[in-house]
Structure 1
Amino acid sequence: MQVVNWLPRTELPFAAPSRPELLETLEPVEALEPSGEEAAAPVALVKPAAEVAARPVERVKIEVPRPSATVKPTVVTGDAPAPVPKTPVVPPPRFALQLLRAGRCLLLVELPTGERFQARDPAYLLLKDMLRAAGLPDSPQIVGEPVRWPLLARGTMDQGPDAARDFVQGFVSARLEDEPCASLWLIGLPAVRFAGEANAEAWYRELQVEGLGSVWALPGLELLMEEPQRKADVWQAMRRLMARWKSTDE
């Protein structure tokens, strides 16, 4: 009710006497004007809470290092052992060889198809012509089963080139012990490589192989059919060696 002072209309019994200063009319309070220094001072404004909440808050960006495409060199300390380079795995060679006997000669021949010779095979007919030209029986005798490599389709046994060489040489050496021969023909690159320890550069030449004796290196029958001009080189080399397997009474 905005009552500042209250005075009774009549004197109240047992009431304390009124104080004269309270009966005086109070002067109206004028608005105090700010002084020059107060007017010049900035007034801090308080923003509403809604406006503060609506203001976006800037997020601090965190830089995440990305992996570089450049390969960093591996630093090998004195304590850590140096990495051991892996030995490349050499796949086993694949070939099929047949051992034949014609007179005083043994023939280790590459099978072009991987299967036994048939009577009408072009490669076998060419072999018969070569034997007749050499003065040997043209119906050679088959000695043992064909040597096919690799021996096993699976397994942990070493079937690399060195193992193939040892197997082929061991197989032929065992047949030579059963019946020696005057000359061993190696026909085809697998026969020359794994029995004669040579390559195509040794074709038409006679070689000495430990455990096998004298061997004659020749191209494969299939190659001779594809390149007939090689037959002349075979014939020239054959004429030089023919006396080795021909009997003295012929």
Structure 2
Amino acid sequence: MLNESRRRAYLTAMQVVSWLPRTELPFAAPSRPELLVLDEVPVAPVIAQPVAKAKVVVAPSAPAERPKIEVPRPSVTVRAASKPVVEADVAPVVAKAAPVPPPRFALQLLRAGRCLVLVELPTGGAFQSRDPAYLLLKDMLRAAGLPDSPQIIGEPIRWPLLRRGNVDQGPDAAREFVQGFLMARLEDAECACLWLIGLPAVRFAGEVNAESFNRELEIEGLGCAWALPGLELLMDEPHRKADVWQAMRRLMARWKPINE
């Protein structure tokens, strides 16, 4: 509880000139009756002041909504500006095409009677007389009624031709080279049917895939051709030999003499 001197010091610090306690204060000086009339007048302004202040505080609420209007404006500008940047970044990536590595294969051209045989070399090297793949080829030629000692024509075709350099050695270039090589050999002697043994021979001479194995093909510039699985594949999967034999029986009339 405050004494009179300290109470007056607090009121003076708060710049309160006149005041009237609601109850009798202990240790306070006696009240003067004339102050009771004068203190009734300032009561109304004291109560009205907080209302006026409340109106002043509420009034700035209207400008407070201005940031809500301004916030979307920068975002629209940023999106519009960022769109060309994204397109500029994506366009070069789409335009770039991954380089196609050159195919790798080795093919050997042989002549057996009235047929030319373009066969894949399983090991990449020339056939040897005791190679299992070469012995299988001899058996196939014998079963077809052709000489089982075929004549080797030229050196093996090994692709890619160059190990270095900027020359195009992709699939299209390989196809043109193989077909051009065969066309030149066909001009030298007659060919009743061109055997294509192995996927590289079928793909780059006949322009077909493994789905065409054991089928007869008609190739522009090369004439009639027969697509066969590779020798190594026939040794690994012997059940394929039955399909080869059935296809051979249908085509045998092309290269066998009529009187046989």
TM-score (norm 2): 0.66
CA distance in 1, matches of 2:101, 2:83: 34
1:238-249 alignment, distance < 5 Å? 238-249=248-259
Specify which of 177, 200, 209 is matched with residue 187 of structure 2: 177
Structure 2 unaligned spans of 5+: 1-11, 14-78
User: Which residue matches 2:132?
Assistant: 122
Contact 1:128 1:138 in 2 (8 A): yes
Structure 2 residue 219 is matched with structure 1 residue 219: no
CA distance in 2, matches of 1:249, 1:88: 56
CA distance in 2, matches of 1:223, 1:132: 19
CA distance in 2, matches of 1:74, 1:222: 58
Structure 2 residue 146 is matched with structure 1 residue 136: yes
CA distance in 1, matches of 2:188, 2:82: 60
The 3-state SS of whatever aligns with 2:91 is: coil
User: Which residue matches 1:191?
Assistant: 201
The 3-state SS of whatever aligns with 2:217 is: strand
- Whichever of the two has the greater Rg, that structure is 1
The 3-state SS of whatever aligns with 1:83 is: helix
1:1-250 alignment, distance < 5 Å? 75-76=83-84, 83-84=91-92, 85=94, 86-250=96-260
CA distance in 2, matches of 1:216, 1:231: 15
CA distance in 2, matches of 1:150, 1:76: 43
Count of residue correspondences? 181
Offset, 1:82: 7.4
Offset, 1:81: 9.9
Q: Which has the higher helix share?
A: 2
Give aligned-pair identity as a percent: 76
Structure 1 unaligned spans of 5+: 1-39, 42-71
Structure 1 runs (4+) deviating above 4 angstroms are none
The 3-state SS of whatever aligns with 1:144 is: strand
CA distance in 2, matches of 1:130, 1:203: 15
Contact 1:110 1:187 in 2 (8 A): yes
Contact 1:218 1:234 in 2 (8 A): yes
